[in-house]
C-alpha cells in the first residue's frame, strides 16, 4: 500500500478512528496496530510478511539471549547479524555478487558462468533489517536492555508509517514509545497532520507531477538533449529524489505523530548544505547515523591515531552507503566519490591551509554562498550515477553533457519551465522554514493564511497529484 | 480528540465534496461500470454498442472479458493493425467472430492470452488471425505489458477514480466540455462510447472521428505524422531500429504453443501506405530493419503458415486512400485482403471454409460506396 494511493487514505481513516477508540485498552490498541501494520505490508505481497515475522522473532530471541548469557553474547549477536545480512544478501545482493565474481574470474582469464536466482526484492527489507540489527547491537553494547514484550518488539519492527522506507529507528529511542500508554495529544496530532500534508504535496505534486516527467524523458534518451539540458536533467532528478524521499519521511513522521509517536528526523534542508560532510548530516540522517555508529566509529577506533586508517574507514563507509542503495556498481561509484569528497574535512585536522579554506567557506558571507551552491551542484551532478541503470549509461550521459555543453544555440531554456518554477517555489519554502521541524510548521502564521495554505495544498494534491502510479523512489532500496 | 476532529473536518468535507462531484460525473459518463457487467450486457443486447472508456480505461481487460465470456471460434489477436476485421466480413459465422486486437502491448501479453486458452479460461478457437507487426519484435526500452499487474478491473481501483476525476475537473476549468457532454447512453459505455467511438460488440474498432474527417475530405492523409516520426526516430521507430533475437525466440515459442493446441493461424502482416514506404525505404537503417522483419514473415510463409503478407495497397492494385493512415489498412482494404486470401487459399483454411465469399464481395462494394472509393 502506497501513501500516495486512494486505498491508503481509506485505510488510514478507518485505522485512525479505531486506533484512538481503543486508547483506553492499550494492549488491544497495540495488537490492533500490529495487525494493521501487517495488513499494510501484506497488501503489497502477503508472502513476504513471513520475512518480517522471522526477522522480528530471531532478533527478539537473540536480544534476550545476549542479555541473559553475556558470555555467549557474541554468538547470538553474530546469529542476528548473519540472519539479517543473509536475508539482505539473498534477496538483494546475491546476483550482484555472483555476477561480479564471474566478471572478476573473466578478468584473470577464467570462465565462470554466474549463478543467479530470480527473486523479488521484498519491500523495505533494507530498512527493517537495519532496524532490527540495531536492537541486538545496542543490547550487546550494553546501551539498552531487551524488551520482554514480544508485541512491542514486533510493533517496533513493523510500525507501518516507517516500515518500508524509514526513517530507520533505534530501539533505545523508539521501543519505549510502544511501552508507554498512548493518549491523544492535540498539538502533536495537528503538527503531524501538517507534516503529512506537506509530505504528500512534495511527493505527489512536486516530485511526481512537475519533475518526474521531465527527468524520465531526459534519462530515457540523453542523446536527444543538449548538454545544458542534460545538466538541468541532473538537477531535476536531484530535486525529484529529494521531494520524493523527504516527502515519504514527512508523511511517515507526520502519521507517527498523529498516532502519538515521535520518529527520528531524516532530512534537514540538505539542499542548503555547505559541504559534503554537512550534506550527509542533513540527508537520510537515520541511515548515515546508523553506518556511523555501527560501522565507522567501531572501525576507526581500531587505529585511533592513524590518519590514513581514517581515510580508509571513510571511503569504506561511503562504499557501504552506496551499496546499501542497490546491487549495482553505479551506487558503489556514487558512494566512493562521496567518500572522496568527504576527505577534505579529515585533511583539515592536519593541514592548516585546508582548515583555513574550509573555515572561510563555512563562515564568510560570500564563502557561504559559494560553498552552498558548490555543494548543491556537486551532489546533484553526481546523481547521474544514482539514476543510471549501469556505469556505461552514466559515463555516456556525462560525455554527452560535456561534449555539447558549450553549444548554447540549441538550448531551449523554456523546456521544463514548470519543473524549474516548481523547484524555485519549493526551495523558497524550504529556505523560509529552514529553522523549523518541517516546512509546514506554520502555527505562527495568521489563521487566514494558514487556512489558505491548507486549501491550496489539498487542492493541488487533488487536482494534480499522481495517485498511486509512481511508487516512492526509495521503495526499490 | 473532538477539538482535532473539529479542526480537520471542514477540509475532509471539502475532499468528500470534490470526490462526490467527481464520482457523479464518472457515473454519468458510464466510466464507473465494471467491465464484466458491460460485457454481459453487450452480449445480451440485440443492438450494437460501443465500448469507449477514456477516464477509467481498461480496453485490454474488456477484450479479455469478451474472450472469456464468448465461445468465439475466430479470434483476432494483435496490435492496432488488425483493428478493422469485422464480424460482418465472416458471414454466416459472425457470431463465432471476435476481434481482440490491441489486447497486446508486448509478447508477454500474448503469452498471457495463450496461457488462458491453454488452461481453458478462454474458449479454444479454431483459428487465430494474428496481427504480426514489427513493433513487438523490436529492441526497445522497457515497455510495460498490459497484464503485468494482473487483470483487476480498474473501475474498482480508487486511484483510477482520482485520475478520472482530475481529467474531468481540469477540462471543466479549461472550459472544455468534452467530458461532461453526456450523450446517448444506449450508444455505448464510457465517454467515448457514448459518442460512438471505440470498440463495437464484435471487438472491431469504430473510429467515428476519422470517418467524419474522411467524409469532409475523402483523401488519404498521413494522420500520425509517420514520416517525421521515422526521421526523428520517435515512437515506434526509436533507435536502434533492430529486431531483438530474444523476442523472436519468444514469438517462435508462442507459435509452437498455439499450434500444439491444434489452432489454425492466419498471420496478418504490417501494411504501410505507398507514400510512407517510398519515404521510409530511403532510410538505410529502416530498410535493413524492414528486410529483417519481412524475412521472418517469409520464413513463416515458407513453413506453410497462412499469411496475409506485408505490403502496400498498390500490391493489391489499390491506392493509399485504402489506408486509414500510414500504417493502418482501412476496413475496405482489410476486407479485400481477406477476400484475396480466401479466394487463393480458402480451401486450406478449414475454419474459414464456409464463409460466404459472395456476401463478402457485396460487402466490399457497399463499403466502397459508403466512403466514395
Q: Does the CB of B169 have a partner CB in chain A at under 8 Å?
A: yes
Q: Is there a contact between A455 and B1 if contact means CB atoms under 8 Å apart?
A: no
3-state secondary structure of B9: helix
Q: Does the CB of B216 have a partner CB in chain A at under 8 Å?
A: no
In this prediction, residue A410 carries a pLDDT of 52
What φ, ψ does residue B44 adopt, rounded to 5°?
Answer: -80, -25
> In the predicted model, what is the mean pLDDT of residues B50-79?
90
| ipTM of the complex in this document | 0.82
CB atoms within 10 A of CB A245: 24
- Please tell me the distance from the alpha carbon of residue B346 to that of residue B339, in angstroms, as a whole number: 9
pLDDT digits (tens, 9 = 90+) for A394-424: 999 998 888 877 665 555 555 667 888 888 8
In the sheet where B197-199 sits, what is the strand order?
A: B188-189, B50-51, B197-199, B205-207
- Please tell me the distance from the alpha carbon of residue A42 to that of residue A160, in angstroms, as a whole number: 11
Q: Which of residues 444-463 of A touch B (CB under 8 A)?
A: 454-455, 458, 462-463
In this prediction, residue B213 carries a pLDDT of 56
- Burial class of residue B198 (count of CB atoms within 10 Å of its CB; 0-12, 13-18, 19+): buried
Q: Does the CB of B5 have a partner CB in chain A at under 8 Å?
A: no
In this prediction, residue B47 carries a pLDDT of 83
pLDDT at B210 over 60: no
* Per-residue CA distances from B118 to A6, B97, B130, B258 (Å): 36, 19, 17, 9
Residue recorded with cell 482494404: B333
Q: Does the CB of B149 have a partner CB in chain A at under 8 Å?
A: no
- CA atoms within 13 A of residue B360's CA, in its CB half-sphere: 26
pLDDT at B309 over 60: yes
Task: Dig out the grid coordinates for B90 from the structure.
Answer: 465472416
pLDDT digits (tens, 9 = 90+) for B72-126: 999 999 888 998 899 989 999 999 999 998 898 889 999 999 999 999 999 999 9
In this prediction, residue B99 carries a pLDDT of 94
Q: Which residues of A belong to the active site?
A: 325
- Residues of B with CB below 8 A from A462's CB? 15, 18, 162, 165-166
Helices A227-258 and A186-201, packing angle to 10 deg = 160
In this prediction, residue A104 carries a pLDDT of 72
Which residue does chain B place closest to A193, by CA atoms?
B8
DSSP A88-116: HIIIIIHHHHHHHHHHHHHHTT-------
- Please tell me the distance from the alpha carbon of residue B277 to that of residue B274, in angstroms, as a whole number: 5
For chain B, the farthest-separated pair of C-alpha atoms sits apart, in whole angstroms, at 82
* CA–CA min distance B113, chain A (Å): 23
- Burial class of residue A407 (count of CB atoms within 10 Å of its CB; 0-12, 13-18, 19+): exposed
Q: Is there a contact between B4 and A186 if contact means CB atoms under 8 Å apart?
A: yes
**Count of A-B CB contacts under 8 Å:** 49
- Please tell me the distance from the alpha carbon of residue B53 to that of residue B33, in angstroms, as a whole number: 9
Alpha helices in A46-149 (DSSP H): 49-68, 73-88, 94-107, 125-140
* CA–CA min distance A468, chain B (Å): 6
In this prediction, residue B98 carries a pLDDT of 94
* CA–CA min distance A199, chain B (Å): 17
Q: Does the CB of B166 have a partner CB in chain A at under 8 Å?
A: yes
Q: Does the CB of A184 have a partner CB in chain B at under 8 Å?
A: yes
Q: Is there a contact between A6 and B170 if contact means CB atoms under 8 Å apart?
A: no
Amino acid at each position: 500500500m502506497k501513501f500516495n494511493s486512494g486505498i491508503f487514505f481509506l485505510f488510514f481513516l478507518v485505522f485512525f478512528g479505531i486506533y484512538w477508540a481503543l486508547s483506553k485498552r492499550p494492549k488491544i490498541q497495540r495488537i490492533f496496530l500490529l495487525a494493521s501494520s501487517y495488513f499494510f505490508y501484506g497488501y503489497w505481497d502477503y508472502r513476504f510478511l513471513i520475512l518480517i515475522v522471522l526477522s522480528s522473532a530471531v532478533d527478539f530471541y537473540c536480544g534476550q539471549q545476549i542479555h541473559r548469557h553475556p558470555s555467549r553474547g557474541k554468538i547470538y549477536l553474530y546469529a542476528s547479524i548473519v540472519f539479517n545480512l543473509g536475508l539482505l544478501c539473498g534477496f538483494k545482493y546475491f546476483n550482484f555478487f555472483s555476477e561480479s565474481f564471474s566478471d572478476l574470474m573473466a578478468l584473470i582469464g577464467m570462465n565462470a558462468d554466474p549463478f543467479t536466482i530470480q527473486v523479488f526484492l521484498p519491500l523495505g527489507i533494507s530498512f527493517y533489517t537495519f532496524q532490527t540489527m540495531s536492537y541486538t547491537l545496542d543490547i550487546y553494547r550494553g546501551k539498552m536492555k531487551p524488551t520482554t514484550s514480544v508485541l512491542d518488539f514486533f510493533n517496533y519492527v513493523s510500525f507501518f508509517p516507517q516500515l518500508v522506507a524509514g526513517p530507520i529507528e533505534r530501539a533505545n529511542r523508539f521501543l519505549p514509545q510502544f511501552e508507554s500508554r498512548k493518549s491523544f495529544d492535540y498539538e502533536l496530532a495537528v503538527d503531524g497532520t501538517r507534516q503529512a500534508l506537506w509530505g504528500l504535496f512534495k511527493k505527489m505534486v512536486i516530485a511526481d507531477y512537475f519533475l518526474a516527467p521531465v527527468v524520465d524523458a531526459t534519462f530515457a534518451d540523453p542523446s536527444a538533449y543538449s548538454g545544458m539540458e542534460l545538466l538541468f536533467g541532473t538537477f531535476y532528478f536531484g530535486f525529484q529524489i529529494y521531494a520524493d524521499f523527504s516527502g515519504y519521511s514527512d508523511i511517515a513522521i507526520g502519521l507517527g505523530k498523529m498516532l502519538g509517536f515521535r520518529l527520528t528526523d531524516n532530512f534537514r534542508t540538505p539542499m542548503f548544505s555547505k559541504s559534503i560532510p554537512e550534506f550527509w548530516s542533513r540527508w537520510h540522517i537515520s541511515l548515515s547515523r546508523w553506518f556511523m555508529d555501527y560501522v565507522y566509529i567501531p572501525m576507526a577506533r581500531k587505529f585511533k591515531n592513524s590518519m590514513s586508517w581514517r581515510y580508509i574507514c571513510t571511503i569504506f563507509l561511503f562504499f557501504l552507503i552506496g551499496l546499501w542503495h542497490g546491487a549495482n556498481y553505479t551506487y558503489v561509484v556514487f558512494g566512493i566519490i562521496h567518500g572522496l569528497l568527504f576527505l577534505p574535512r579529515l585533511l583539515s585536522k592536519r593541514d592548516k591551509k585546508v582548515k583555513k579554506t574550509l573555515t572561510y567557506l563555512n563562515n564568510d558571507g560570500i564563502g557561504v554562498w559559494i560553498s552552498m551552491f558548490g555543494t548543491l551542484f556537486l551532489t546533484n551532478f553526481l546523481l547521474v550515477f544514482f539514476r543510471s541503470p549501469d556505469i556505461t549509461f552514466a559515463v555516456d550521459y556525462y560525455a554527452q553533457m560535456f561534449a555539447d555543453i558549450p553549444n548554447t544555440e540549441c538550448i531551449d531554456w523554456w523546456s521544463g519551465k514548470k519543473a524549474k518554477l516548481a523547484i524555485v517555489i519549493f526551495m523558497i519554502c524550504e529556505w523560509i522554514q529552514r529553522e523549523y521541524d518541517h516546512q509546514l510548521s506554520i502555527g505562527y502564521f495568521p489563521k487566514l493564511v494558514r487556512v489558505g495554505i491548507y486549501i491550496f495544498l489539498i487542492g493541488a494534491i487533488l487536482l494534480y497529484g499522481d495517485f498511486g502510479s509512481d511508487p516512492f523512489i526509495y521503495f526499490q532500496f | 480528540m473532538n477539538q482535532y476532529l473539529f479542526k480537520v473536518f471542514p477540509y475532509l468535507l471539502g475532499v468528500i465534496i470534490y470526490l462526490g462531484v467527481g464520482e457523479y460525473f464518472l457515473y454519468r459518463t458510464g466510466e464507473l461500470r465494471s467491465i464484466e457487467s458491460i460485457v454481459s450486457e453487450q452480449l445480451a443486447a440485440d443492438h450494437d454498442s460501443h465500448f469507449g472508456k477514456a477516464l477509467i480505461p481498461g480496453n485490454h481487460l474488456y477484450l479479455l472479458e469478451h474472450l472469456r465470456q464468448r465461445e468465439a471460434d475466430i479470434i483476432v489477436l494483435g496490435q492496432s493493425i488488425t483493428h478493422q476485421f469485422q464480424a460482418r466480413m465472416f458471414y454466416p459465422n459472425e457470431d463465432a467472430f471476435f476481434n481482440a486486437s490491441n489486447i497486446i502491448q508486448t509478447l508477454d501479453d500474448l503469452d498471457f492470452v495463450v496461457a488462458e486458452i491453454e488452461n481453458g479460461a478462454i474458449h479454444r478457437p479454431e483459428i487465430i488471425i494474428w496481427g504480426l507487426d514489427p513493433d513487438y519484435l523490436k529492441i526497445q526500452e522497457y515497455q510495460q505489458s498490459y497484464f503485468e499487474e494482473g487483470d483487476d478491473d480498474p473501475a474498482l481501483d480508487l486511484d483510477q477514480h482520482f485520475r478520472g476525476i482530475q481529467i474531468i475537473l481540469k477540462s471543466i476549468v479549461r472550459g472544455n466540455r468534452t467530458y461532461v457532454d453526456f450523450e446517448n447512453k444506449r450508444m455505448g459505455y464510457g465517454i467515448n462510447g457514448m459518442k460512438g467511438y471505440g470498440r463495437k460488440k464484435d471487438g472491431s474498432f469504430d473510429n467515428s472521428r476519422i470517418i467524419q474527417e474522411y467524409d469532409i475530405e475523402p483523401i488519404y492523409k498521413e494522420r500520425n505524422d509517420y514520416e517525421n516520426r521515422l526521421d526523428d526516430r520517435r515512437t515506434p521507430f526509436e533507435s536502434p531500429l533492430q529486431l531483438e533475437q530474444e523476442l523472436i525466440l519468444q514469438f517462435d515459442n508462442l507459435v509452437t504453443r498455439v499450434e500444439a493446441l491444434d489452432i489454425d493461424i492466419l498471420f496478418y502482416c504490417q501494411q504501410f501506405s505507398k507514400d510512407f514506404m517510398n519515404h521510409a525505404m530511403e532510410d538505410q537503417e529502416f530498410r535493413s530493419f524492414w528486410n529483417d522483419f519481412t524475412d521472418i514473415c517469409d520464413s513463416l510463409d515458407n513453413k506453410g503458415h497462412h499469411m496475409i503478407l506485408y505490403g502496400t495497397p498498390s500490391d493489391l492494385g489499390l491506392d493509399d486512400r485504402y489506408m486509414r493512415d500510414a500504417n493502418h489498412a482501412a476496413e475496405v482494404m482489410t476486407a479485400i485482403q481477406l477476400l484475396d486470401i480466401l479466394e487463393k487459399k480458402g480451401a486450406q483454411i478449414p475454419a474459414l471454409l464456409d464463409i460466404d465469399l459472395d456476401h463478402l464481395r457485396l460487402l466490399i462494394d457497399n463499403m466502397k460506396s459508403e466512403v466514395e472509393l
